[in-house]
Amino acid sequence: MDKVLKRFTDILCGTLDNTAQVEAEKQAGKQIHPYAKHVTDIFSHRVFNRPEGHEGIYVLEESYYTYPGKKMDIKPLLFYLTSDGKSKVFLQSVQIPEKFNAAEATNANANFVLDYNDLSIRPFGIAEYSLMETNQFTTNHIGIIGPGMTFQLTETLSDGHLSVMEIVRKDGIKLTPYDTPIEYIKI
């Protein structure tokens, strides 16, 4: 693993949540953001039948979201990461095969393994993260995710902290119910 990917995964991997943000919103009288938790780890060793020369890194991000008054929503995400070895990391979102349910797709489930031949890249495009002089990674990526639908990811990754704004639009209308980033702290 090159030093840029190592730095990126050191920041991204682990358990992070936005408890501090949600508690501050409740103290102010209104919760705006969902409670969100990510449990992220390197997953490459559990993807078999990888072709020779396929040297990137797979990362599994278990995402748990709870909006006020609603049940928890589980969204596991599989990412494929590569780097230019200098200052850029490229992230592609990979479709987890439908035969797996969200509750199975966890880092703790040793039986959850994937065949490379069953994987496909999701229609998100390639998010390019730049390593800044401040030792943070940033991206502002817009991907087409379906007819008339876009997904904008604006993210800053730094030691112990992720600032993530995801905006989904359909036919130009914003569907995301909040206007500021979710602020994750490593726990």
How much is the average pLDDT of 122-132? Answer: 92
How much is the average pLDDT of 20-42? Answer: 98
Give the model's confidence band at 76: pLDDT under 50 very low, under 70 low, under 90 confident, else very high.
Answer: very high
Residue 124: its pLDDT value, please? 85
How much is the average pLDDT of 99-117? Answer: 96
Q: Report the mean per-residue pLDDT for the chain.
A: 96
Residue 169: its pLDDT value, please? 97
Measure the CA–CA gap between 126 and 143, rounded to whole angstroms: 8
Q: For 131-151, write each residue's pLDDT tens digit.
A: 999 999 999 999 998 999 999
Query: Using DSSP, how many helices (H) and how many strands (E) does the chain show?
Result: 2, 13
Return the DSSP state at 63: E
Return the DSSP state at 34: P
Collapsing DSSP to helix, strand or coil, 3 comes out as: helix
Q: Is a pLDDT exceeding 90 seen at residue 85?
A: yes
Residue 123: its pLDDT value, please? 84
Residue 116: its pLDDT value, please? 98
Q: Is a pLDDT exceeding 90 seen at residue 1?
A: no
Helices assigned H by DSSP within the chain: 3-12, 19-27
Measure the CA–CA gap between 153 and 43, rounded to whole angstroms: 22
By percentage, how much of the chain surpasses pLDDT 70? Answer: 100
Q: 156-178 as b/e, with b when 16 or more CB fall inside 10 Å? A: bbeeeebbbbeeebeeeeeeeee
Q: Is a pLDDT exceeding 90 seen at residue 125?
A: no
